[in-house]
A and B are shown apart, each in its own frame.
Chain A
Amino acid sequence: MSIFEYNGSALVAMVGKNCFAIASDRRLGVQLQTVATDFQRIFKIHGKLFIGLSGLASDAQTLYQRLVFRHKLYELREERDMKPETFASLVSAILYEKRFGPYFIQPVIAGLGDEDKPFICTMDSIGAKELAKDFVVAGTASESLYGACESMFKPDMEAEELFETISQALLSSVDRDCLSGWGGHVYLVTPTEVTERILKGRMD
């Protein structure tokens, strides 16, 4: 069994018209036993920047604490929030530093950059950045998510349509993965507001 399949996770982020959505499942397990059904995988760095961390849950929480620490130092020095591209480079550098003893994490970063242009990217566990213009996926359900997103995604979707698409892609993919599921958690971010929704899914 791979280390990524120890806790199970599913993460997806999609770009819309001047908005983005990032979604995750809610299960925390220890191999095949479920331990929690309300586990937080997507974390806010600042109002317009979110990071989702899939993989080993303890590394996800440790890495999140380290990133929040570095972002707070940056905010104190620069007196402004970090841009998503800069944050992605920071995460990549922190992960590559541990090249020969890595964190077992696959992050998904989503944010609104200059002029509220949406930015998404994902990385492997040693920080190889993968920028995409449409969607990025991570976690144990990633193979199903690739297929679902590839067919359901349309460019330039408005916020409500984007929410519907990302929710359908997430729920249909986690239904085909034993290790993720138990509902969904979706953050939809536009330049004026952040909408956090919890989805009802199959509890098996």
Chain B
Amino acid sequence: MGIQGMELFAIGVVVILFMAVLKQFGILEPISSFEDSSDSDLELSTVRHQPEGLDQLQAQTKFTRKELQSLYRGFKNECPSGMVDEETFKTIYSQFFPQGDASTYAHFLFNAFDMDRNGSIRFEDFVIGLSVLLRGSVTEKLNWAFNLYDINKDGYITKEEMLAIMKSIYDMMGRYTYPCVRDDAPSEHVDKFFQKMDKNRDGVVTIEEFIETCQKDENIMNSMQLFENHWMMEQHQN
């Protein structure tokens, strides 16, 4: 009885080994390898993008030709494929805020720049966004900020959206702050914001309320001009 069993076992082992050998010779391949044939094709389509011509961009933005040239050179240097995906964007942006976690805010920022929502920022998006931020009128900038806060782009900023934005901004601070960031600090800040902005107390902030309130606030108006001057100074001499 035991002999019988051992012999069966032995024959089983032999059969397995035989199949292993056959696989090596490629005779058994069609059975096992039909799923890996399509992998090779995917790599060929390079994700690459060429921007529109210099003239069109000049028409669409408020940058001069030289500024566009300089911007493109910097952009292409960092992203040779011509497109920035969200991960790269997050990495780049996080490098400016080493103490905290800038990935959430970077996500919102990415969505604000990626206007056609295709998951990557092309040079046109980049430069158009920059044009608004640096050369645009105050209204345009405020529009842009509203767009940033309105996560689902429905035209209203809800408390939840604002809370998410606020949390992400506080996240960038990191742990080591003075005074320590309390857990309810973002929501407090959101409450203050809504108090200021939400005129009709309907729980959401519309674009008109937003712009109106901001235009009345001197601090905000001053700060809108802040970066513009600097940038113009930099680029002016290029």
To the question of whether A and B form a pair in one complex, the answer is no
Binding site for B on A (CB under 8 A): none
Interface residues of B (CB under 8 A from A): none
